[in-house]
Amino acid sequence: MYEKRFDGRAFDELRPMKAKVGIVKNAVGSAMFQIGKTIALAAVYGPRELHPRHLQDISSGTLRCFYNMMAFSGSGERVKPGPSRRSREIGLVTEKAILPVLDLTEFPRTTVDVFIELLQTDAGTRCAGICAASMALADAGFKMKDLVAAVSCGLVGGKIVVDLNYEEEAQEDAVDIPIAIIPRTGEITLLQADGIVTREQLKEAISLAKRKCLEIYEIQKRALKERYEKEVK
């Protein structure tokens, strides 16, 4: 049984977080979200014309998210640059995690592109990427119902924990359950799992994630407010 977490945290304790918006001047919106040693950067470009044309949606803009780990950001050997099956799938689930809060109907036929780069990783990268991406879209001023907050919950040594780090995730029996929610409604927009869990454990993990996402939400909102206050000054 996992009695004490490797880094000394309580089982329901998030790693320290930092968030900032407006980190890429060239982009229409951008954000950095750090949780523990995982650092995600996100930049938004668009709305701009979507090519090839047959992909254009006449009723709305299209959200495209691209996830990438910098070559030196992973533990162990260098990550080969360029898209992988893993990074493409994460891009896809990131889009799906954010779409429910984002309204692009004002921009038919266009694309809004979010580029997510991981500068350093210590697990929880897709969730950090989603947090950064939703902040970057808000920074860009797109019509949104809410932000999206995300965190990974899981099982380590039979214990339900929040915000697994790499060391925990690497445990043989570890189960990783990344979850994104719309904080104001509690609705789930990302849910994945790999590993053996009982129905009860899964329910408990989801309710823990929902609770902890509210803490993340506060950090996200504060970063956006700080930017806004600065601009008013």
Partner 1 sequence: MITRDYIISLINSNKRFDGRNLLDYRDIKIEYNVSEKNAEGSARVKIGETEVVAGVKFEVGEPFPDTPDEGTIVVNVELTPLASSEFEIGPPGIDAIEIARVIDRGIRESRAIDFKSLCIKEGEKIWLIFIDIYPINDGGNLLDASYLAAIAALKNARFPALVEDKVDYKTRKENLKLNFLPIECTVYKIHNKYVIDPTHEEEKMINARLTVAIREDGKICAIQKGGKGPISDKDFDEMLKIAYEKAKELRSLLK
Q: Which is nearer to partner 1, 109 or 211 (CB)?
A: 109
CB of 211 to partner 1, least distance (A): 27
Q: Which position among 111, 121, 189, 220 is part of the footprint of partner 1 (CB under 8 A)?
A: 121
| b/e per residue 171-204 (b: at least 16 CB within 10 A) | eeebbbbbbbbbbeeeebbbbebeeebeeebbee
26 is an interface residue for partner 1 by CB under 8 A: yes
Question: First and final CA of the chain: distance in angstroms?
Answer: 53
**Closest CB to partner 1 among residues 24, 209:** 24
Does 227 bind partner 1 (CB under 8 A)? Our answer is no
Neighbours of 16 (CB within 10 A): 11
Cβ 222 to partner 1 shortest distance, Å: 22
Name the segment binding partner 1 (CB under 8 A); options: 76-84, 101-109, 147-155, 189-197. 76-84
The single residue among 74, 100, 108, 157 that binds partner 1, judged by CB under 8 A, is 74
What does the angle CA 143 – CA 146 – CA 152 come to, to the nearest 5 degrees?
130
Cα–Cα distances (Å) from 51 to 85, 94, 115, in that order, read: 22, 21, 17
Residue closer to partner 1 (CB basis): 42 or 182: 42
Reading the block at residue 178, the tokens are 């990344």
Q: Give dist(CA 26, CA 114) in Å, integer.
A: 13
39 touches 46 (CB < 8 A): no
Q: How many angstroms separate the CA atoms of 2 and 132, rounded?
A: 31
The total of other beta-carbon atoms located within 10 Å of residue 233's CB is 5
Q: Considering CB under 8 A, how many residues would be counted as binding partner 1? A: 34
Residue with tokens 């359950």: 177
Find the shortest distance in angstroms from Cβ 73 to partner 1. 6
- The owner of tokens 């009723």 is 59
Residue 145 in contact with partner 1, rule: CB under 8 A:
no
Question: Which part of the chain contacts partner 1 (CB under 8 A), choosing from 97-105, 112-120, 196-204, 210-218?
Answer: 112-120
Report the residue from 4, 16, 55, 81 that binds partner 1 according to the rule CB under 8 A.
81
Query: Is the Cβ of residue 81 or residue 158 nearer to partner 1 in the bound state?
Result: 81
Question: How many Cβ atoms from other residues are within 10 Å of residue 141's Cβ?
Answer: 10
16 scored as a contact of partner 1 (CB under 8 A):
no
Of the ranges 12-20, 42-50, 151-159, 169-177, which one interacts with partner 1 (CB under 8 A)? 42-50
* List of residues contacting partner 1 (CB under 8 A): 23-27, 37, 39, 41-43, 45, 48, 66, 68, 70-78, 81-83, 113, 115-117, 119-122
